[in-house]
Amino acid sequence: MSGDRDALRRELRQRRRAIPAAARIAAAERLAEQLLALPFAPASGHVAGYWAMDGEIALHAWQLRLPPTLHYCLPVLGADGQLRFAPWRRGDALVGNRFGIPEPDVAAESLLPAAAMALVVVPLVGFDARGQRLGMGGGWYDRSFAFRNRQGPPPWLVGAGFAAQQVQVLAAESWDVALDAVCSEQGTLLPATAGTPVPP
Ligand SMILES: Nc1nc2c(c(=O)[nH]1)N(C=O)[C@@H](CNc1ccc(C(=O)N[C@@H](CCC(=O)O)C(=O)O)cc1)CN2
Ligand SMILES: Nc1ncnc2c1ncn2[C@@H]1O[C@H](COP(=O)(O)OP(=O)(O)OP(=O)(O)O)[C@@H](O)[C@H]1O
């Protein structure tokens, strides 16, 4: 991993944490509106969010406004390096993972594979106008959704962040999975390639 990428990550994480409480509360509401208005917002099935940490934009407003036909899920880290997903409702048991992020406390058999999601809201440290994403550096989303580089949606991959996390251009790595959209409190970016099937 390049030092540039690391330095950018540090700077953008700091910027994300520095957003004042009142602004983040308002931003979460605006973000929910953007996510609910996506042209490809599914009407039924499973959708994945994340448990916001380290200054990430929160998803509670979106979760609370989902239609009852959609089941909200949270990511669970697998020992094999893949993310799996578990339905989670307020009050369901949680347990901290190796990074201290709460995840549903469920048996392995009841976890859903990444491909079972209709839409996934992807946490990000930075993004650019083409839908390239800089994450925390673990490669979790890239590994888990690598199949989206060979086939079209679903699952639709939608980055969520504060507008302050947008940068001019992120250098794409060969393993990076591009996002179909990025939503922030200021609007929705739909990169020109959104949903384009990858030729065989
Ligand atoms: N809310 C949320 N959940 C998520 C992610 C995320 O970015 N945000 N992930 C997105 O991939 C996955 C977890 N990936 C992560 C990768 C690195 C670190 C992290 O905090 N690294 C530390 C140092 C390592 C350590 O503590 O062992 C750090 O740099 O602060 C956290 C999560 C799955 N769940
Ligand atoms: N499809 C893949 N197969 C194998 N390894 C992968 C794959 N995708 C990413 N990786 C590994 O993950 C590492 C981290 O990738 P990267 O820096 O792009 O993470 P990130 O997208 O910022 O992290 P995250 O998704 O956890 O937020 C890379 O060094 C790469 O070796």
Residue 171 belongs to a domain: yes
Distance, CA of 180 to CA of 193 (rounded, Å): 7
Burial 127-153 (b: 16+ CB within 10 A, else e): bbebbbbbbbeeebbbbbbeebeeeeb
In a domain, 200, yes or no: no
Ligand 1: residues whose CB is within 6 Å?
Answer: 50-53, 56, 75, 99, 101, 123, 135-138, 140-141
For residue 154, the enclosing domain spans 2-194
Residue 87 CA to residue 97 CA, distance in Å, equals: 16
Q: Please report the atom of ligand 2 found closest to the CA of residue 133.
A: 21
Predicted local confidence at residue 3, as pLDDT: 80
β-sheet with 83-87: strand ranges across: 112-113, 83-87, 70-77, 45-48, 119-123, 156-160, 181-184, 187-189
pTM of the model: 0.95
ipTM of this complex prediction, to 2 decimal places: 0.92
- Paired residues of 133 in beta bridges: 127
CA–CA separation, 118 and 149 (whole Å): 16
* 1 belongs to an annotated ligand binding site: no
Q: Is 141 within the bounds of a domain?
A: yes
Identify any residues that bridge with 126 across adjacent strands, giving them in sequence order: 134
Q: What's the pLDDT tens digit per position in 85-129? A: 999 999 999 999 999 999 999 999 999 999 999 999 999 999 999
User: Any known ligand binding at 148?
Assistant: no
User: For residue 63, what are the CA distances in angstroms to 75, 125, 199?
Assistant: 14, 21, 34
Residue nearest to atom 3 of ligand 1 (CA): 50
137 is in an annotated binding site: yes
Domain count, the chain: 1
26 lies in a domain? Answer: yes
CB distance 138 to ligand 2 below 6 Å: yes
CATH number of the domain encompassing residue 32: 3.40.50.10420
Does 127 sit in the ligand 2 pocket, CB within 6 Å? Answer: no
What is the pLDDT, as a whole number, of residue 139?
Answer: 96
Q: Evaluate whether residue 128 is within a structural domain.
A: yes
Work out the number of other CB atoms within 10 angstroms of the CB of residue 93: 9
Residue 199 within a domain = no
Say yes or no: CB of residue 137 within 6 Å of ligand 2: yes
Q: Is the pLDDT of residue 136 over 70?
A: yes
Nearest atom in ligand 1 to the alpha carbon of residue 77 is 33
* 125 Cα nearest atom in ligand 1: 7
In a domain, 14, yes or no: yes
- Ligand 2 pocket member 6 (CB < 6 A): no
Tell me, yes or no, whether 152 lies in a domain.
Answer: yes
pLDDT tens digit sequence for 30-85: 999 999 999 999 999 999 999 999 999 999 999 999 999 999 999 999 999 999 99
